């Protein structure tokens, strides 16, 4: 088979169980018909295991990212895990608030792009309320798992949902919420795909009900428990004490309803996953606002405004490694080696 025949390559790879996103191979060879270089090989490397991170005994610090570009920069900063924030995705895709406007397929498409960009860091992805009933939850879990996501977060809000730190939330019946968690657990193809079960009941029905839901979610098979928006340090400590020995998630939102703590403080309390979902988003939004205002006022961006250079940006997103340098004759053996190596890794 000649790999400069893009149709044959697409068919070959589509029927091959590769260790990384097979669309990456098809798209790259379709467009470039050249040699994959170092960064492409790194993107195809096995991602950090989220299961291993949980076993490390250290609190996992996961910053929020809202698109493939922000995910890539988070991974470049050295984080072991990155969180796809639904709040941020809604803003970046639609330019609108997080009030249930994104569809399941739109979220899955964004997750797929971000899982590739985040490698080798593990991607944790917001699945909102599953975008429907138990069947919708099952479909979303399979879409996320197939996209390279290692952990999905699902919540018990009604549809349409809203950000957990907004007011006027509503939650579904506890039994229905538990059944959705159980459906997510049953739907995954591998135990290495983790389920975060989140309850928003604290704001609606009080902490006691949130704790009861947490108990049922864990009994239904959830791997991590996320009680959203506790309103004081004592509530956070009460949750940590009650669920000692379980994997707990803390959500640190700037200007939100929960005390804003450092990862070291959360580690001391017993939380295993610390999400900082909107830190980069809020900082980026302020920067965009400022830059556009300056350009409007000055007719251009003044040289003294801090920014990346054009070449620095291209290097950061992988141009130096991906820019084709080779001849068509080299494409076939390199493509064969990449696919052969992937097949050997998968047994």
Cα(292)–Cα(299) distance, integer angstroms: 10
Cβ proximity of 217 and 201 under 8 Å: no
Give Cβ neighbours of residue 287 (< 8 Å, ≥ 6 apart). Answer: none
Give Cβ neighbours of residue 67 (< 8 Å, ≥ 6 apart). Answer: 88, 89, 92, 93, 110, 113, 114
pLDDT over 60 at 335, yes or no: no
Residues 274-304 have pLDDT tens digits of 999 999 999 999 999 999 999 999 999 999 9
Cα(130)–Cα(185) distance, integer angstroms: 13
CB-side neighbour CA atoms (13 Å) of 329: 0
Cα(116)–Cα(66) distance, integer angstroms: 14
Residues 48-53 have a mean pLDDT of 95
Residues 103-130 have a mean pLDDT of 96
Kindly state the tokens that stand for 177: 């919420």
Tell me the whole-structure pTM to 2 decimals: 0.82
What ranges in 33-173 are assigned the alpha helix state H? 38-43, 50-55, 68-76, 86-94, 104-118, 134-146
pLDDT over 50 at 310, yes or no: yes
Cβ proximity of 254 and 282 under 8 Å: yes
What confidence category does residue 95 fall into, taking pLDDT thresholds of 50, 70 and 90?
Answer: very high
Cβ proximity of 60 and 250 under 8 Å: no
Residues 240-251 have pLDDT tens digits of 999 999 999 999
Residues 226-237 have a mean pLDDT of 97
pLDDT of residue 320: 84
**Residue 83: DSSP 8-state:** E
Q: Which residues of 29-63 are buried (b: 16+ CB within 10 A; e: fewer)?
A: beebbbbbbeebeebbeebbebbebbeeeebbbbb
Instruction: Give the H/E segment covering residue 81.
Output: strand 81-84
Distances (CA, A) of 270 to 106, 207, 250: 34, 18, 10
Residues 155-212 have pLDDT tens digits of 999 987 867 676 768 999 999 999 999 999 999 999 999 999 999 999 999 999 999 9
Mean pLDDT estimate for the chain = 85
Distances (CA, A) of 220 to 172, 195, 213, 240: 16, 11, 10, 19
Instruction: Give the H/E segment covering residue 37.
Output: none
Cα(174)–Cα(156) distance, integer angstroms: 8
Q: What angle do CA 89, 189, 199 make, to 5 degrees?
A: 50
Cα(141)–Cα(145) distance, integer angstroms: 6
Instruction: Give the H/E segment covering residue 270.
Output: none
Residues 54-64 have pLDDT tens digits of 999 999 999 99
Of 88, 279, 257, 235, the residue nearest 248 (C-alpha): 235
Cβ proximity of 224 and 195 under 8 Å: yes
Q: What angle do CA 318, 322, 324 make, to 5 degrees?
A: 150
Distances (CA, A) of 39 to 13, 178, 179, 197: 20, 42, 42, 35
pLDDT of residue 149: 98
Helix/strand/coil for 65 = strand
pLDDT of residue 21: 44
Cα(127)–Cα(108) distance, integer angstroms: 9
Residues 215-228 have pLDDT tens digits of 999 999 999 999 99
Kindly state the tokens that stand for 256: 């939100």
Residues 117-124 have a mean pLDDT of 96
Kindly state the tokens that stand for 299: 């007719």
**Which residues are 61's β-sheet partners?**
274
């Amino acid at each position: 088979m000649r790999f400069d025949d893009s149709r044959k390559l697409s068919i070959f790879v589509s029927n091959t169980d590769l260790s990384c996103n097979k669309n990456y191979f098809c798209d790259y060879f379709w467009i470039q018909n050249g040699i994959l270089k170092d960064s492409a090989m790194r993107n195809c490397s096995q991602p950090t295991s989220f299961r291993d991170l949980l076993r490390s005994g250290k609190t996992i610090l996961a910053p929020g990212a809202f698109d493939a570009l922000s995910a890539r920069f988070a991974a470049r900063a050295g984080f072991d895990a990155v969180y796809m924030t639904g709040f941020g995705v809604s803003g970046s895709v639609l330019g609108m608030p997080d009030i249930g406007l994104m569809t399941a397929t739109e979220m899955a498409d964004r997750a797929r792009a971000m899982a590739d960009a985040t490698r080798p860091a593990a991607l944790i992805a917001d699945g909102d309320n599953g975008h429907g009933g138990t069947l919708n939850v099952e479909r979303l879990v399979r879409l996320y798992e197939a996209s390279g996501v290692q952990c999905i977060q699902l919540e018990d809000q009604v549809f349409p949902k809203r950000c957990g730190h907004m007011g006027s939330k509503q939650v579904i019946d506890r039994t229905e919420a538990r059944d959705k968690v159980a459906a997510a657990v049953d739907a995954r193809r591998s135990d290495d795909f983790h389920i975060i079960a989140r309850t928003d009941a604290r704001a609606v029905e009080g902490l006691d009900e949130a704790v009861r839901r947490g108990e049922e979610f864990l009994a239904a098979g959830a791997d991590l428990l996320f009680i959203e928006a506790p309103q004081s340090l004592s509530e956070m400590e009460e949750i940590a004490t009650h669920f000692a020995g379980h994997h707990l998630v803390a959500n640190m939102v700037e200007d939100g309803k929960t005390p804003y703590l450092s990862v070291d403080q959360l580690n001391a309390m017993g939380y295993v996953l610390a999400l900082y979902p909107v830190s980069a988003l809020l900082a980026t939004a302020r920067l965009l606002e400022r830059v556009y205002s300056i350009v409007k006022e000055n007719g251009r961006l003044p040289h003294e405004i801090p920014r990346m250079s054009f070449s620095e940006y291209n290097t950061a997103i992988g141009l130096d490694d991906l820019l084709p340098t080779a001849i068509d004759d080299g494409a076939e053996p390199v493509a064969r080696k990449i696919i052969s190596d992937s097949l050997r890794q998968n047994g």
